[in-house]
Amino acid sequence: MTAINYTCLLLLILCISTIIALPVFIRGLARHGTGKIYEPNFVIQRLPQLVAVITILVLFVAYLKYDELLFFPKSIAWLLSLNDIIKPQYANIVSFLGLIILIHGLTFMIGGWYSLGNNFSTDSEILPDQKISTAGVLGIVMHPVYSGIIQSLLGASLIALSPIGVILTLYPGTSLWINRAKYEENLLVKEFGDDYLNYAKSLNWHRIIPNYRRLKS
């Protein structure tokens, strides 16, 4: 499979994912800021989202390099994409792995939104009448949306063979999402006490990495 095929396949997957995700995302966006417990902390509420957007913009430029639509000085070209450095057979393996991770991540991100249902907001907060959600992908990971965002960005970075994409996704991206996840857990423990702690313990506190072993139990 050639580079342009990977890019076209990526765009197709993103278009399909957007159609599936848009209804539930709009509902979650309408709920943000309506929580009975809400702290407008920039580091918690906006910085993870901002870094994700920056990563997406950087990846857009990386794909221009990957598909050789724009040329960059050698000093930065390798940081955007290693497509002209890695041998094609190895590049295809990495890109294919990235595609699998991307699809897996989008499944968790969108699945997390739907699994949360009326509990889903695009901000970290406790909504009125909120309950503990354990359905769907919440049955194997505590924060499927954040897990999905990290996986999707990492997968897209690997498809484009982009070192800078991987770096931004893993740090500061992942650390910010985990920090936000821990903040939410504190809110949920205060609100639901042992009920939430028992849920977290049932997943062995798998915040970001899915606990597939639980499916066997």
Q: Would residue 31 count as lying in a domain?
A: no
Report if residue 32 sits inside a domain: no
Q: Maximum distance among all alpha carbons in the chain?
A: 56
CATH number of the domain within which 117 lies: 1.20.120.1630
Structural domains of the chain, count:
1
Range of the domain at 65: 3-13+42-216
What is the full DSSP assignment across 175-213?
Answer: HHHHHHHHHHHHHHHHHHTHHHHHHHHHTTT-SSS--GG
Question: What are the tens digits of pLDDT across the range 69-106?
Answer: 999 999 999 999 999 999 999 999 999 999 999 999 99
Q: Does residue 133 lie within any of the structural domains? A: yes
In a domain, 82, yes or no: yes
| pLDDT score recorded for residue 1 | 38
Residue 36 included in any domain: no
Q: Across-strand partners of 37?
A: 126
What's the pLDDT tens digit per position in 90-147?
999 999 999 999 999 999 999 999 999 999 999 999 999 999 999 999 999 999 999 9
Decide if 26 is inside a domain. no
Is 30 among the domain residues?
no
User: Mean pLDDT across the stretch 54-78?
Assistant: 95
Share of the chain above pLDDT 70, in %: 97
